Amino acid sequence: MQFYTKTHPYYCGIDLHTKTMYVCILNNEGEIVLHQNIKSQAEPFIKLIEKYRQQLIVGVECIFSWYWLADLCRQQHIEFILGHALYMKAIHGGKTKNDKLDSEKIARLLRGGTFPMAYVYPQQLRPYRDLLRRRSTLVHMRSEVLAHIKLTHYQYNQAYFENHLGKRHNREALEQYFTDPTVRKNIEMDLAVADHHHDLINQLEAYLCRHVKQFDPRTYYRLRSVPGIGKVLALIILYEVGDINRFPTVQSFCSYCRLVKCPKESAGKLYGYSGGKIGNAHLKWAFSEAVALFMRESDRAKAFVAKHEKKHGKGKAMSILAHKLGRAIYFMWKRNDAFDEKYFFIN
C-alpha cells in the first residue's frame, strides 16, 4: 500500500457519483474552506474550484466513473490522485454516513498523508484495456449458449458429440440431432448467437493485435516467447500492467497479480492470510491460464509441479509455478529479454 504524503496549500476530497459529486476543500490548517454538492460535470467543477486550482490536489475514491474527472484535471493541469477503494475503509466507518461526510473524510485523508493510492491508468490506453475486458464478457456469453446446447442434448439423451463446441466447424448441423421442430429451432437460435459472438471475438482480437504493434510490439512478442502464452494472454498481461516501471520491486508486481498470499501476524503469531481480493483479477486469471497451458507444452513444468505436488498438493504446486512465472515475466520486461526455459528452471 502506498500513501500520498506530499503537502499542498489546499486539499480537495470528492465523493463522486454518476450524476452528482460532493466537493470538500480543506486548507493547510485543516479548516473547511468549501463544502458543496454539484452536478458531475466539468463546467460546474472548474467554476467551483477556480479560486484554489493553482495550489490544489484532488483526490477521489476509485469507482467506475472516475475517467472523466481524471482527464479533466489532466487537461486543466490540476494534480489528481486516485484512492484505492478496498483500502479507504475510513470513509465507510462511523455512526452516520453520507456524501457530505465522505467528501470531508477523503480530504482529511489527503491532508493527513494517509490517502491510499491507486494507479491512474493512462488515458490513451484505457479504451483498449476496456475493450479487452469486454472480450471476456463476450466469451462468457458464448460459453453460456454452448452450455445450453449441451444441456439440451442431455435432456433428450441424444447421441454424444465429442468435438469441442468452441470451434465453429464442430458446431455444424448440431440441430440435426433433434427431431422435434421446436427443439431444433431452439438449437438453431443458440448456434446463431454462438456464431455471432465468435465473429465479434475474432474481430475484437484482430483489432487489438493491430494496435499492440503500434503500442509495444517488442514486449508483446517477448511475452509470447513464454510457452503457453498466446496472443490473448499476452494482450491481457500487457494492457493490464501498462507500465512495468510503476512496480518498484518484483514483490509488488506479484502482489498486484494476486500471486502471493499476505500473512496476518500479531505478537509473533500467524492468524491466517488476507487481502486475496486486493490486486488485479484479470492478471490473476491470465497467470492461472498461462500455468495450465505451460504444463501442456513443457515437460519441465510438469516435473516441477509433480515435485511440489507431493508436499503441497496440485493446486498449491501450480500456484508456486504461477508465482515463479510472474517473477520471470517481471524481469523479462525490465531487462528486455525473451523467455529462457532452461534458465527459468535453474533458478
pLDDT tens, residue by residue, 24-53 = 999 999 999 999 999 999 999 999 999 998
Mean pLDDT of 199-205: 94
Using pLDDT thresholds of 50, 70 and 90, give the confidence band for residue 160. Answer: low
In a domain, 18, yes or no: yes
In a domain, 326, yes or no: yes
Cell of 87: 483500502
Indicate if the pLDDT at residue 91 is higher than 80: no
β-strands 32-39, 20-27: how paired?
antiparallel
Q: Are 166 and 235 members of one domain?
A: no
Indicate if the pLDDT at residue 269 is higher than 70: yes
Coil/strand/helix, residue 253: helix
Give the helix/strand (H/E) hosting 205.
Answer: helix 181-215
- Greater pLDDT, 172 or 242: 242
Q: Are 8 and 112 members of one domain?
A: yes
Indicate if the pLDDT at residue 230 is higher than 70: yes
Q: Are 133 and 112 members of one domain?
A: no
Q: What is the pLDDT of residues 274-295, one digit of tens each?
A: 777 788 999 999 999 999 999 9
Mean pLDDT of 269-275: 76
pLDDT of residue 270: 78
Using pLDDT thresholds of 50, 70 and 90, give the confidence band for residue 60. Answer: very high
In a domain, 135, yes or no: yes
Q: Are 341 and 232 members of one domain?
A: yes
Secondary structure (H, E, C), 21-85: EEEEEEECCCCEEEEEEEECCHHHHHHHHCCCHHHEEEEEECCCCCHHHHHHHHHCCCEEEEECC
Using pLDDT thresholds of 50, 70 and 90, give the confidence band for residue 303. Answer: very high
pLDDT of residue 139: 94
Identify each DSSP E strand in the chain by its residue range: 3-4, 10-16, 20-27, 32-39, 56-61, 79-83, 115-118, 262-266, 269-274
pLDDT of residue 164: 75
Mean pLDDT of 127-139: 94
Domain boundary among 118, 147, 171: 118
pLDDT of residue 271: 77
Q: Model pTM?
A: 0.87
- Alpha carbons within 13 angstroms on the beta-carbon side of residue 175 total 13
The 8-class DSSP code of residue 98 comes to -
Of 3-7, 54-58, 177-181, which gets the smallest average pLDDT? 177-181
Domain count within the chain: 3
Q: Which of 74-83, 85-94, 261-270 tops mean pLDDT? A: 74-83
In a domain, 223, yes or no: no
CA-CA distance, 25 to 42, in Å (whole number)? Answer: 17
Q: Are 253 and 336 members of one domain?
A: yes
Domain boundary among 79, 97, 118: 118
Q: Are 113 and 17 members of one domain?
A: yes
Q: Are 27 and 77 members of one domain?
A: yes
Q: Are 177 and 110 members of one domain?
A: no
Residue range of the domain that includes 37: 3-118
In a domain, 222, yes or no: no
Q: Are 20 and 41 members of one domain?
A: yes
In a domain, 103, yes or no: yes
Indicate if the pLDDT at residue 254 is higher than 90: yes
Cell of 213: 504493434
Using pLDDT thresholds of 50, 70 and 90, give the confidence band for residue 88. Answer: confident
Q: What is the pLDDT of residues 326-338, one digit of tens each?
A: 999 999 999 999 9
pLDDT of residue 135: 94
Using pLDDT thresholds of 50, 70 and 90, give the confidence band for residue 15. Answer: very high
Domain boundary among 65, 88, 118: 118
CATH label of the domain that carries residue 32: 3.30.420.40
pLDDT over 70, % of the chain: 98
Q: Are 186 and 239 members of one domain?
A: no
In a domain, 140, yes or no: yes
In a domain, 221, yes or no: no
What mean pLDDT value characterizes the chain?
Answer: 90
Q: Are 24 and 83 members of one domain?
A: yes
Mean pLDDT of 179-188: 87
Q: Are 55 and 153 members of one domain?
A: no
- DSSP per-residue letters across 288-308: HHHHHHHHHH-HHHHHHHHHH
